[in-house]
Structure 1
């Protein structure tokens, strides 16, 4: 499709914190939260009028004029028909229709969990353990570098599988720590390294504990964490924990800071 010079929304990914407030403000459905950031999913869906501008608390959205795909009202109508439950900030809602959340995607909303979570009883019913999770979201990809719970924190960077392999993950590793999780094999390790380095550089993090599985593909998490600490120029304790597939801690050691 030929392009034309016109006004269209521009989203500054560096400023965007993924709050999602712009999503319901776009009646055309041109904006979605992808990988923790607001994205313009299709230029043809954006009318360039900027209804989303005033919804961004970070000032990440602007209107620029450049070569772009022309606005296509028919494509927008087709999208609406495919998403029957879609509603916008400008459309009337029928009875029983759910009001969209003001913060957009719940998975991107930053929360500090002060009170202990739900409790789970053991098989005897005599003892119970409460969730020790203290922050949300936990996915490294989704956590904004400006999340308030990162300030002065002790970070726990855990490979995705560790929480399932360790029978006492909450009791042993979570208390007093902010949890970040990711998979060094299935996800973008370079992105993780850069994101972690930014978190370390912008927040007064006091300690970093990295937990990975014993399988070779999981060792990359420790490597990227060490590089991130070096890139951030931080002199903090870095503790590497290797977990067996049976849940047993196989190794636990603090890295020499001179090496980092």
Structure 2
């Protein structure tokens, strides 16, 4: 048997404030009948980001025994180890030009006031998409300014501050988001939806979900 870390919520101490729900990037916690519940145990990563947000100390990290599996270092699907069969290199006969039009690309490094963001078509891209999706430069990136980041490891307050300022000052023309199919990546969409509610311009945006083997799983307007 292997051991993995997971959160445990003491119902008697929980006051149902919901702060743990808002910081759980995996969507593993929900408020049910006025109490926080771990509703998706399989995706809880055991990192405990929710602990510091709990005002009553109702959440703690525990160790749980699970059946040994080399592909499950923890419960979060983003950590599951997978290996793919070799594919034919479809691009070995031609060189594909980069569609990148600016530098840097990391959200943490780009000032919201930079000139290339003003009135731009923005592509907010989860870090892993650039590695997984082979058609990024031909299908998603052309004529867009890209901002990359990881909602699992970047602090939420960074997104709140920077995107709020970008949306209000740079006033982008359009917004598209490219995320991976793992649950923690969906937090990026949730963050941007929350930010959109706080600004005067309530514009729609498009979300591309990419599978871990590099295909577009679905496209949605939100």
TM more than 0.5 = yes
Higher relative contact order (CA 8 A, sep 6+): 2
Alpha-carbon shift at residue 232 of structure 1 (Å)? 2.4
1:27-76 per-position Cα deviation (integer Å, ceiling 9, x unaligned): xxxxxxxxxxxxxxxxxxxxxxxxxxxxxxxxxxxxxxxxxxxxxxxxxx
1:171 to 113, 118, 138: 138
Alpha-carbon shift at residue 211 of structure 1 (Å)? 0.9
How many angstroms apart in 2 are the aligned matches of 1:246 and 1:233? Answer: 38
Superposition map of 1:190-229 within 5 A: 190-229=157-196
1:90-113 per-position Cα deviation (integer Å, ceiling 9, x unaligned): xxxxxxxxxxxxxxxxxxxxxxxx
- 1:210 and 1:225 in contact (8 A); partners too: no
How many angstroms apart in 1 are the aligned matches of 2:218 and 2:131? Answer: 18
How many angstroms apart in 1 are the aligned matches of 2:103 and 2:170? Answer: 17
Question: Which ranges of 4 or more aligned residues in structure 1 deviate by more than 3 Å?
Answer: none
Counterpart check, 1:137 vs 2:108? no
How many angstroms apart in 2 are the aligned matches of 1:233 and 1:190? Answer: 20
After superposition, the CA RMSD in angstroms is 1.4
Alpha-carbon shift at residue 129 of structure 1 (Å)? 0.7
- 1:184 and 1:220 in contact (8 A); partners too: yes
Name 2:125's counterpart in structure 1. 158
Name 1:180's counterpart in structure 2. 147
How many angstroms apart in 2 are the aligned matches of 1:232 and 1:131? Answer: 33
Alpha-carbon shift at residue 229 of structure 1 (Å)? 2.0
How many angstroms apart in 2 are the aligned matches of 1:237 and 1:136? Answer: 26
Alpha-carbon shift at residue 246 of structure 1 (Å)? 0.8
Structure 1 SS opposite 2:190: helix
1:191-229 per-position Cα deviation (integer Å, ceiling 9, x unaligned): 112211110100121111011110111110111111222
* Count of matched residue pairs: 133
Name 1:84's counterpart in structure 2. none
Alpha-carbon shift at residue 251 of structure 1 (Å)? 1.2
Name 2:91's counterpart in structure 1. 122
Provide structure 2 residue ranges, at least 5 long, that are not aligned to the other structure: 1-89
Provide structure 1 residue ranges, at least 5 long, that are not aligned to the other structure: 1-120, 256-260
Return the index of the structure with the highest Cα Rg.
1
TM (norm. structure 1) is: 0.49
Superposition map of 1:27-176 within 5 A: 122-123=91-92, 125=93, 127-176=94-143
2:202 to 232, 235, 241: 235
